[in-house]
């Protein structure tokens, strides 16, 4: 593969050098990779590159979620509590 081919990825070849910008963009890219692989239209080489990129994105997402969970634990005084919305949450605290 030429040097230009590595630096300018096509739609079918995920770029492994570019880090995810944020959690949401990583998830969107991961979903796109999964859809492409599930289609069965990719060559073996493209599928392997997609798999590698997908694993990188999954690791980034796991790390990001773990860091967010740690922040929540710190905010909750080290106790990981269930989060609920609505009037039920207010009723439970007033009892």
Domain ranges of the chain: 12-93
Query: How far apart, in whole angstroms, are the C-alpha atoms of residue 46 and residue 68?
Result: 33
Inter-CA distances, 56 with 31, 79, 82, 84, 90, Å = 13, 30, 29, 32, 41
Least confident range from 7-16, 34-43, 73-82, 86-95: namely 7-16
According to the CATH classification, is domain 12-93 in 1.10.287.1040?
yes
Q: What is the pTM of this model?
A: 0.62
Percent of the chain clearing pLDDT 70 (strictly above)? 63
As a whole number, mean pLDDT of residues 13-27 equals 76
Q: Which pLDDT tens digit goes with each residue over 48-89?
A: 999 999 999 999 999 999 999 888 888 777 676 666 666 554
């Amino acid at each position: 593969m030429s040097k230009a081919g590595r630096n300018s990825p096509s739609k079918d070849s995920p770029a492994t050098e570019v880090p995810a910008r944020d959690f949401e963009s990583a998830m969107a890219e991961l979903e796109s990779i999964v859809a492409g692989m599930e289609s069965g239209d990719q060559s073996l080489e493209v599928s392997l590159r997609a798999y590698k990129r997908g694993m990188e994105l999954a690791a980034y997402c796991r790390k990001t979620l773990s860091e967010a969970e740690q922040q929540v634990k710190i905010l909750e005084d080290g106790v990981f509590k269930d989060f609920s919305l609505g009037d039920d949450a207010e009723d439970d605290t007033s009892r």
